[in-house]
Amino acid sequence: MATASMKRSVKQLHFGGPDEKAAAAAEIKRIARGDLRTRKSLAELGVIPTLVSMILDSPTVSPGRKIAIEALLELANGTFTNKALMVESGLIAKLPNIFNTLDSSTQEQLANLLLSISSLANTQHSIQPHEILPFLIKILNDRDTDDEIKVKFLAALQNLSIKIETTKLIVSSGLVHALLSFSVNKRTSKEALATLSNLVLTSVGKKAIENDSMVPEIFMEIMAWEGMPQSQELVAYILMVIAHQSAKLRKKMIVLGIVPLLLEVALLGSPLAQKRSLKMLQWFKDERQAKLGAHSGPQSEVFGISNALRLKGESSEECERDVRKMVKQSLDQNLKLIIRRGDLSDGCSMIKSLVFNSSSKSLPYC
């Protein structure tokens, strides 16, 4: 229920001069912090279109503009209805016209607001991708844009990319290559990889990622990172999807040294990264021993380690002996790596847990 002070601030926002509007926006920002019911009541009193107008129509240098953005951020908290009202008021459609006229701190606040609104993509409310995507792409491709703003825009792009129609627009815009470049930057990696993990679930996105000249080398580079578990998990997921039915890509990954890298992640990575690495190791196991079922991995032209070794003209027994030798060397190297990185007892416990508590199916190389 609207209080007297709330009604007074709303009236001042609607009918006051520039300074009065700025003061009213500051008061509405304060009131909106209260609870969800208050935020909905303020929206019912019509403050959102007026605040959007303050952002879009204010002079370049205007304290009221930044306060209006902050008020909308509070009003957007926890309510899709209020976010939808912001879209209906023209904020998204007209945002590209004013963004570059703002100072960096105001741009960052507006990026936060856009990120909040982008969560509408996963609801019954709609955001027209053709209205916002060209703007996002332009900002992401601008070398002068601060990384913090790009992180917010990448996170917004991740939200938008869950829709198939948006995925097609992203791929057709040529943004996949840029996303791959962002993924190798540790400041923007997580958001870029999260977007790529959405794109890879569609046939057009998967094809664009798989055919990029940076793949799979860039993903293998990220898998070798330390202290970035989420990026490691996401890149392992993407590799699983693109390699699942591509014998050519799996062969290339083997040549580039994916097996020792997967072994390292299986020993040192997060639980989820370990699980995904072990799954891929199962795929690369000798196809005669792997006995892949209908749903356990790639079905066409499995290119295992033994296949790669046989290209050198080795017999089956020699091949198996070389496989065991290579895996033993990799495990020895990783054990030394664990000892160097941390406490020996912790490392040994991890090895024992992986080796002795895992079935032969979940740990293909043992």
pTM score, two decimals? Answer: 0.77
Give the tokens for residue 280.
């891929």
Residue with tokens 């332009």: 138
The full DSSP string for 316-350 is: HHHHHHHHHHHHHHHHHHHHHHHHHHS-HHHHHHH
| CATH of range 1-117; options 1.25.10.10, 2.60.120.380, 3.90.1640.20, 1.10.260.40 | 1.25.10.10
Instruction: Quote the CA–CA distance of 334 and 120 in Å, as a whole number.
Output: 45
Domain chopping of the chain, boundaries: 1-117, 247-366
Burial status of residue 33 (CB atoms within 10 A of its CB: 0-12, 13-18, 19 or more)? exposed
Give which of 155, 364, 362, 187 is closest to 271, Cα–Cα: 362
Instruction: Quote the CA–CA distance of 327 and 264 in Å, as a whole number.
Output: 11
Q: Using an 8 Å Cβ cutoff, are 156 and 133 in contact?
A: no
The full DSSP string for 62-117 is: -HHHHHHHHHHHHHHTT-HHHHHHHHHTTHHHHHHHHGGGS-HHHHHHHHHHHHHH
> Cα 52 to chain center, whole Å?
29
pLDDT at res. 14: 93
Instruction: Quote the CA–CA distance of 44 and 314 in Å, as a whole number.
Output: 77
End-to-end Cα separation, the chain, in angstroms = 67
Dihedral sign computed on CA atoms, order 178, 184, 190, 194: positive
pLDDT in tens, 72-115: 999 999 999 999 999 999 999 998 888 988 888 999 999 999 99
Residues 6 or more apart whose Cβ sits within 8 Å of residue 106? 65, 66, 69
Dihedral sign computed on CA atoms, order 346, 348, 349, 350: positive
- Please list the pLDDT of the chain residue by residue as tens digits (366 residues): 568 888 899 999 999 998 999 999 999 999 999 899 999 999 999 999 999 999 998 766 677 899 999 999 999 999 999 999 999 999 999 988 889 888 889 999 999 999 999 999 888 887 888 888 989 999 999 988 999 999 999 999 999 999 888 999 999 999 999 999 999 999 999 999 999 999 999 999 999 999 999 999 999 999 999 899 999 999 999 999 999 888 889 889 999 999 999 999 998 899 999 999 999 988 887 543 544 454 454 444 444 444 444 444 445 566 556 555 665 666 666 656 655 555 444 544 554 454 444 433 333 333
Give the tokens for residue 270.
């997060």
